[in-house]
């Protein structure tokens, strides 16, 4: 019961801290007052250490594989957007500091330094999951806006506009990422960049379904002068149909996906909970047989997650 009460207190503390982070200016006056008093030698040394830590982590991220590097950058951007303006710490160092703070809180609540590792891992895991969800929402938003962008591009090219001017026309009537990317393509072409290179860069920045076909058609039309109004209109209809099909599939598979997530996350959460708040479990895990059992369990859970993910993957 004491362990459950301690975990609930820790959960409430984490929720309160997250709520405070959402308020961008809740301590702005206090920070400005502290800065007005001047920074001592200790403050300069601390900032230097934080910058060195951020540089070391950034260099390590650059050496990661492409998928891991993209995930690390997504986590960095997500945390940077959640932190208040007065924070001021470098992005990767902020992840390390927040993870260490969560680990220390769990260690103090659980009365064991094993909770420090559990808290750090838990913070990084939550940040990774949230960044993946944010990336998925951004991709879905782009896909929803693509049909209208393709229609506008078809109308503009059918009116006799050049590719650069058509791209700027679409960008001026769009929002968000599509506005920025289409305007960038139009300006690159106006500045002398070849249409092929500009469209390849657009496709690299927006690897969404349907964009590859449209980019290829635009490159062919740029070289041959073939009309694209009909093809772009069909691409817009196809993208709209794909969105409706994805919505239907999401509704049909929502319960199965939720069950898979709960079943796969429950063993890991239970193990972290016991490592943080149960002295008997920590004593058993410290033995060779206990460590082997935990390692086998983690490996089997990872295999199960991979199999479930493979089975539920739907390519449209």
Instruction: Sketch the domain layout of the chain as residue ranges.
Output: 42-111, 140-248
Task: Locate 33 and state its tokens.
Answer: 């007052």
Q: What is the pTM of this model?
A: 0.56
Which residue has better confidence, 140 or 168? 168
Residues 6+ apart with CB under 8 A from 201: 185, 188
Determine the Cα–Cα distance for residues 49 and 223; give it in Å rounded to an integer: 55
Read off the pLDDT of residues 249-296 as tens digits, 9 standing for 90 and up. Answer: 777 777 777 887 788 888 888 888 887 778 888 888 888 888 888 888
Average pLDDT estimate for 12-38: 46
Please report, rounded to a whole number, the percentage of residues in the chain having pLDDT higher than 90: 0
- In words, the CATH class of domain 140-248 is mainly alpha
Residue 37 has pLDDT above 60, yes or no: no
Please report, rounded to a whole number, the percentage of residues in the chain having pLDDT higher than 70: 80
pLDDT at 229: 67
Which residue has better confidence, 56 or 26? 56
At residue 240 the predicted structure's pLDDT band, cuts being 50, 70 and 90, is confident
C-alpha of 290 from chain center? 35
Q: Which CA distances in Å does 129 have to 72, 123, 304? A: 11, 10, 18
3-state class of 190 per DSSP? helix
At residue 35 the predicted structure's pLDDT band, cuts being 50, 70 and 90, is very low
Average per-residue pLDDT in the chain?
A: 75
């Amino acid at each position: 019961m004491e362990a459950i009460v301690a975990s609930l207190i820790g959960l409430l503390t984490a929720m309160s801290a997250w709520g405070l982070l959402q308020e961008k200016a809740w301590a702005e006056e206090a920070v400005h007052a502290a800065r007005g008093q001047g920074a001592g030698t200790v403050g300069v040394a601390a900032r230097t250490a934080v910058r060195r830590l951020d540089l070391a982590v950034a260099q390590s991220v650059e050496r990661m594989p492409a998928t891991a590097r993209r995930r690390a950058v997504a986590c960095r951007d997500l945390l940077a957007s959640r932190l208040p303006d007065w924070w001021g710490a470098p992005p990767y160092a902020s992840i390390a500091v927040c993870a260490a703070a969560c680990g220390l809180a769990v260690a103090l609540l659980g009365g064991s330094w094993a909770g420090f590792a559990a808290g750090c891992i838990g913070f990084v895991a939550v940040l990774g999951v949230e960044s993946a969800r944010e990336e998925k929402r951004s991709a879905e938003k782009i896909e929803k806006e693509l049909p209208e962008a393709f229609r506008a591009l078809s109308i503009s090219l059918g009116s006799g506009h050049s590719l650069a001017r058509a791209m700027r026309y679409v960008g001026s009537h769009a929002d968000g990422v599509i506005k920025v990317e289409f305007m960038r393509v139009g300006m690159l072409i106006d500045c002398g960049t070849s249409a092929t290179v500009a469209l390849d860069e657009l496709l690299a920045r927006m690897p969404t379904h349907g964009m590859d076909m449209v980019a290829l058609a635009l490159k062919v039309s740029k070289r041959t002068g073939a009309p694209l109004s009909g093809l772009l209109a069909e691409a817009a209809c196809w993208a709209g149909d794909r969105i409706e099909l994805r919505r239907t599939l999401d509704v049909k598979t929502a319960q199965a996906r939720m069950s898979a997530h709960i079943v796969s996350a429950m063993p890991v959460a239970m193990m972290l909970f016991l490592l943080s708040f149960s002295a008997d479990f920590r004593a058993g895990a410290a033995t060779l047989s206990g460590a082997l059992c935990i390692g086998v369990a983690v490996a089997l859970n990872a295999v199960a997650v991979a199999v479930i993910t493979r089975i539920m993957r739907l390519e449209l």
